[in-house]
Amino acid sequence: MIKLHDKYFKPFISAAQIDKAMQKLADDILKDVGDEIPVFVGILNGSFMVVSDFVKKYKNPCEVTFIKLASYEGVKSTEDIQRLIGLTQDLTGRTVVVLEDIIDTGNTLAEVHRIFKNEKVKSLKIATLFYKPEAYKKDFKLHYVGMEIPNKFIVGYGLDYDGLGRNLPEVYQIKDTQHMTNLVLFGPPGAGKGTQANFLKEKYNLVHISTGDVFRYNIKNETALGMLAKSYMDKGELVPDQVTIDMLNAEVEKNADANGFIFDGFPRTNAQAEALDNLMDTKDSQINAMIALEVDDEILVERLLKRGETSGRADDADEAIIRNRIKEYYQKTAILKDFYSAQDKYYGVDGVGSIEDITVRLSSVIDSL
């Protein structure tokens, strides 16, 4: 992932894929034009890389020139595009192929056609490396297309974001992470994590994904992932991280329109945290924060022993077991604290006080993200 100005972009089209698409353009045009010597015209600024690499792949003799349009100088309305730099040779009776880096709305094509109509060319053909069919609003024919792509903002290989990115040999797609809030919620046994998760999911309209609940659901309903997980558990083996990630992915997919997610019980290791980052990246999203409820050990022990009087859970009734659970929590959390602190995403929140007070503290963190 790269950052240009205030935006993040993720890898989208590799240099190898670009090279293959470029070769396709060259081969298709050569087959069509034959022995005739065409004039290839690039539209500055974006097409300079496309034209440079294209002519290296074109096997027959050709001529190359450039024009520049006002829309590439930052005019706000593409309806008023004007020709700034024109052609220097007589193109009467010549076959002209305009080489574009990308065609989306097609607003510049009207001006291109007007220019070359006045030049009395034999034929005018439009070739573009990238084409966004969802965005295209014109009726002009596109004769050669290297690659169709979604209607997402991209940079690289001649395309820029506010002046940056043209020199990149690959193409990157904008990473839209603003519409979701994704939290990893941690807390030691007895910290009230479950209670707070319920309040937060309601307040912020988030989906609470508890790893334990997800496992139980998949095993109970005998899903393919549930049966796979059970096969490991029956042998006393740890369920591989990928199986857990696949289960979480299924939950995220079920709630694709969610405002965000609260992940509870996962991750527990650096490898799992990296896997979760990768999962969210595929959704054009990210983990915004790891929030950990912080409560003094003695208060936790007191809470759990009191809970054990009514919960019926053996591990809530034995102080030695309780203290061991708390110790294990800190050992696991310490690793993840470092992981998320390195990304400036770790937030420790005081977990002592009334439920309402703790919710206010957690909300303050979330509102600041």
- pLDDT at site 31: 96
Is 194 annotated in a binding site? The answer is: yes
Say what percent of the chain tops pLDDT 70: 94
- pLDDT at site 357: 95
- pLDDT at site 333: 79
- pTM confidence score: 0.56
Is 266 annotated in a binding site? The answer is: yes
- Using CA atoms, how far apart are residues 47 and 157, in angstroms rounded to an integer? 9
Residue 44's CB is within 10 A of a number of other CB atoms, namely 15
Is 238 annotated in a binding site? The answer is: yes
Interval 67-109: pLDDT, tens: 887 544 444 334 444 544 667 788 899 999 999 999 998 888 8
Alpha-carbon torsion angle 65, 97, 142, 148, nearest 10 = -60
211 neighbors 244 (Cβ within 8 angstroms) = yes
- pLDDT at site 71: 47
- pLDDT at site 177: 54
Is 195 annotated in a binding site? The answer is: yes
- pLDDT at site 73: 43
Alpha-carbon torsion angle 355, 361, 364, 365, nearest 10 = -110
Interval 311-327: pLDDT, tens: 777 777 889 999 998 99
Instruction: Give all strands of the β-sheet with 123-131 in edge-to-edge order.
Output: 83-85, 63-69, 39-44, 95-103, 123-131, 144-148
Give the residue numbers annotated as catalytic, written as ranges.
193, 268, 307, 313, 325
Interval 273-317: pLDDT, tens: 999 999 998 887 899 999 999 999 999 999 999 888 887 777 778
- Using CA atoms, how far apart are residues 31 and 29, in angstroms rounded to an integer? 5
The one-letter code for the residue type at 336 is L
Helices 193-203 and 355-368, packing angle to 10 deg: 50
- pLDDT at site 249: 92
> Alpha carbon of 257 to those of 62, 172, 173, 253, 260: distances in Å?
51, 24, 21, 9, 8
> Alpha carbon of 53 to those of 26, 96, 99, 103: distances in Å?
10, 18, 11, 18
Interval 39-65: pLDDT, tens: 999 988 889 999 999 999 999 999 999
Q: How confident is the model at residue 176 (pLDDT cuts 50, 70, 90)?
A: low
- Using CA atoms, how far apart are residues 262 and 287, in angstroms rounded to an integer? 10
More confident residue, 141 or 335: 141
- Using CA atoms, how far apart are residues 155 and 152, in angstroms rounded to an integer? 10
Interval 186-231: pLDDT, tens: 999 899 999 999 999 999 999 999 999 999 999 999 999 999 999 9
Say what percent of the chain tops pLDDT 90: 66
